[in-house]
């Protein structure tokens, strides 16, 4: 096993496992999903109940795909897009640090950079991407991931974000 394969495996397990749990947490019961929807409404998201479900499923499924190393750049793009939306609609006004009041954007940015790094180095020898010989390392997965993430976040915000003006 090369050190890059080991690093990819560790990144996939840590990032994928953590994000799966984030998704599950949003939908562990009806009140969790309802609470997430109410919070989404309070920050200006249209169709907040549906947005809560989409966010939970995106986190769960992208985490699963990252964990098993299948279509890794696409899964990373979905995760990065979700984090970009979170930064813009919720965290950027709180500054950088997560311990700031309102939770800054450092955590979401770190997840995004980690996911982009994983998409770039590839999911490694012990992955389904390797088994099916898709999405090896390099500029193509990096570019695909970055473009899809930015496009997905921009479309999401354009279609569903309607911030309320503060007095």
Cα angle for residues 127, 22, 40 (degrees, 5° grid): 130
Q: At what angle do helices 17-26 and 30-42 cross, to 10 degrees?
A: 90
Instruction: Tell me how many degrees the CA angle 31-34-35 measures, rounded to the nearest 5.
Output: 85
Mean pLDDT of the chain: 93
The C-alpha atoms of residue 30 and residue 40 are separated, in whole angstroms, by: 15
How far, in Å, are 8, 21, 52, 113, 160 from residue 46 at the CA level?
37, 25, 11, 28, 5
* Residue 130: pLDDT over 90: yes
| Cβ atoms of 96 and 103 closer than 8 Å | no
Chain segment 29-87, per-residue pLDDT in tens: 888 899 999 999 999 999 999 999 999 999 999 999 999 999 999 999 999 999 999 99
pLDDT of 2 reads 93
Q: Dump the DSSP string for 80-99.
A: HHHHHHHIIIIIGGG-S-TT
pTM of the model: 0.93
Least confident of 92-96, 114-118, 150-154: 92-96
């Amino acid at each position: 096993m090369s050190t890059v394969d080991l690093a990819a495996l560790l990144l996939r397990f840590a990032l994928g496992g953590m994000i799966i749990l984030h998704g599950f947490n949003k939908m562990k019961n009806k009140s969790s999903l309802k609470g997430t929807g109410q919070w989404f409404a309070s920050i200006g998201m249209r169709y907040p109940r549906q947005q809560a479900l989409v966010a939970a499923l995106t986190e769960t499924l992208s985490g699963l795909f990252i964990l098993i190393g299948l279509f890794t750049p696409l899964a990373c793009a979905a995760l990065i897009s979700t984090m970009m939306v979170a930064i813009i609609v919720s965290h950027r006004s709180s500054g950088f640090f997560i311990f700031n009041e309102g939770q800054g954007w450092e955590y979401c940015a770190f997840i995004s950079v980690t996911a982009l790094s994983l998409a770039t180095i590839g999911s490694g020898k012990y992955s389904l991407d390797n088994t099916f010989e898709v999405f090896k390392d390099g500029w193509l997965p990096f570019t695909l991931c970055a473009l899809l993430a930015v496009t997905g976040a921009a479309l999401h915000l354009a279609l569903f974000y309607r911030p309320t003006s503060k007095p």
